[in-house]
A = this chain, B = another copy of it.
Amino acid sequence: MAKPILLYTSLCLLLVLFNGCLATQTSRQQQRFNQCQMDRLDALEPNHRIEAEAGVIESWDPNDKQFQCVGVAVVRRTIEPNGLLLPQYASAPQLIYIERGYGIFGAVLPGCPNTYQESQQQQQQREGQQRDQHQKIRNFRQGDIIALPAGVAHWLYNDGDSEVVALSLLDTNNQANQLDENPRHFYLAGNPEDEFQLQGRSPRGQRRQQQQGQGRRERGHQQQQGQGNNLFSGFRTEDLADAFNVNENTIRNLQGFQEDRKNIVKVKGRLQVARPPRSREERERLERQEREQEREDEREQRESQSRRGGHGHDNGIEETLCTLRLRENIHDPSRADIDNPQAGRISTLNSHNLPVLRWLQLSAEFGRLQTDAIYVPHWNRNAHSVIYVVKGRAQVQVVDDFGQTVFHDELQQHQILTVPQNFAVVKRASSSEGFEWVAFKTNDNAQISPLAGQTSVLRAIPADVLANAFQLSREDVSELKSNLEQQEITMVKPSRSSSQRRTIALMKNLMVVQSLESEVMTLCPSDFYDSNSD
């Protein structure tokens, strides 16, 4: 392979070459050790868009360094009324957040029974027909989080009269994803486009050509197969016909060769599985009953397992998934963990209130900050946090282990910010409508450690440690700790304006100068303290 090159350059060149490549080798050897070594974070917006027949799909670049550090991928689907997101699954567990709208979804859990049937009413409409059995269909509505294990096929249908906006987070770094960290959707129907523009993957048409050029053994079949992109399209039509025992025309429809509706299609008429239209109130009442019933069933099952010897965990997902709830509403104010009319509201979804999350190793938080309120500086102890802005704007700062500001900017609606594990973050609502977000966390019981507020880490440290660590007077530490004690948990509304505090500070400054002058006084003058406290 080596061609003759001029002697007087060759040797030197090889040396340079050797050095050059060696240099990149050394630096790259560290790559997997540096994927979270980021000088700055950015507020990210989707950079890829698919226009489908009945909706739009927008995805964030999964190759962005921020997403690679936290190991997730995010896609947002807007489904028009009467639109159907085609059945599909992903190799990573996912959480779907319903930002807007309502509808129904079905998840196909292997090994679970097909016991659900269309309602009586629908049966009557088509009396004489065969009854259609299928797995359970669930409602979803604004504020729901839907939890889906890896490899579980599912579909979404918008049976409302406004858009459904659904944001999916795929935890590609999850142990349940045994493939590489590329997010992958496997479609069962239609002729969908790839929802992520993945690197190292040439556009589909181009790839087909290349393969034909390479003279692959199966080339003949491929040409015959046309241009489908779903799971069926890759199989030989006649083999599928044999496997399904139906004619090849039906199979060709499964393969979607003539399809051009892409990932989200328009349903002709109304989807017949949908329940008869009722009033919004009636609908919600029925749904609440249904959800309460599900929780009851789940609790009973867990208790009965626990009586049988506590094997709930050991026997694994396959035995319990059939009855486990897959969704829970995170907007509902009645289930907020923290609710402070002045400052805001936080609701958390974890494996305690949605047990399926134990298998997904994911949790979620929905938050609302009132205008000018602050979500106190804190770090995520055991998880990454992926923040998606639902409404409003906030000033956000993120600080790394180096004390570096890696993000300081206004975070706006529909932007995403990833906050890596242990990085400190503060948010302050900066728009008049406040700030609403949903945060996905890569741990089924994500914990935060607040720096300020009633649960501040500083309150848990003895005063004298703080005084020495921060070179503060015992008096200042007392004030700091008692201020924290009087604050709310995690969210605060600044009580005094900065300028007010500045005046007070000026006065205090004089006192500090005074106390510094006589260092003896700073050390142990109990009478000095007496004059200021209690």
Contacts and interface: CB of A to CB of B under 8 A. Distances in A.
Interface centre among A231, A232, A452, A469, by most B CB within 10 Å? Answer: A469
A534 interface: yes
The 5 closest A-B pairs by CB, nearest first: A234-B399, A247-B505, A151-B381, A310-B310, A5-B12
A468 interface: yes
A87 interface: yes
21 contacts: A33-B63, A36-B179, A89-B379, A114-B460, A126-B526, A134-B461, A153-B449, A155-B461, A177-B421, A207-B402, A217-B409, A231-B379, A232-B403, A245-B492, A249-B512, A253-B471, A267-B464, A269-B523, A307-B309, A314-B358, A318-B445
Nearest to A315: B352
Contacts of A254: 470
A502 to B, nearest CB: 7
Given A2-B16, A12-B5, A13-B16, A382 B480 contact: no
A174 to B, nearest CB: 11
A232 B458 CA distance: 12
A396 to B, nearest CB: 10
Contact of A408 (B1, B68, B217, B461): B217
Contacts of A28: 25, 28-29, 31
Nearest to A423: B186
B426 A235 contact: yes
Interface in A1-46: 1-6, 8-25, 27-37, 39-40
Interface stretch (A220-228, A275-283, A288-296, A432-440): A220-228
A272 interface: yes
A449 B151 contact: yes
A269 B524 contact: yes
Interface residues of A, number: 236
B265 A468 contact: yes
A309 to B, nearest CB: 4
B182 A460 contact: no
> Copies of this chain, how many?
3
Interface string A246-265: 11111001101001000001
Contacts of A406: 234
B465 A374 contact: no
Interface string A94-109: 0000000000001011
A176 interface: yes
A451 interface: yes
Contact of A34 (B150, B180, B233): B180
Contacts of A236: 397, 408
Given A111-B447, A512-B249, A87 B428 contact: no
A382 B150 contact: yes
Interface in A452-470: 452-453, 455, 457-466, 468-470
Contacts of A6: 8-9, 12
B374 A239 contact: yes
A32 B181 contact: yes
Contacts of A71: 178
A238 B3 contact: no
Interface stretch (A162-170, A187-195, A325-333): A187-195
A323 interface: no
Given A187-B403, A234-B405, A460-B114, A244 B470 contact: no
A244 B24 CA distance: 46
A465 B271 contact: yes
Interface string A40-84: 100000000000000000000001000011110000000000001
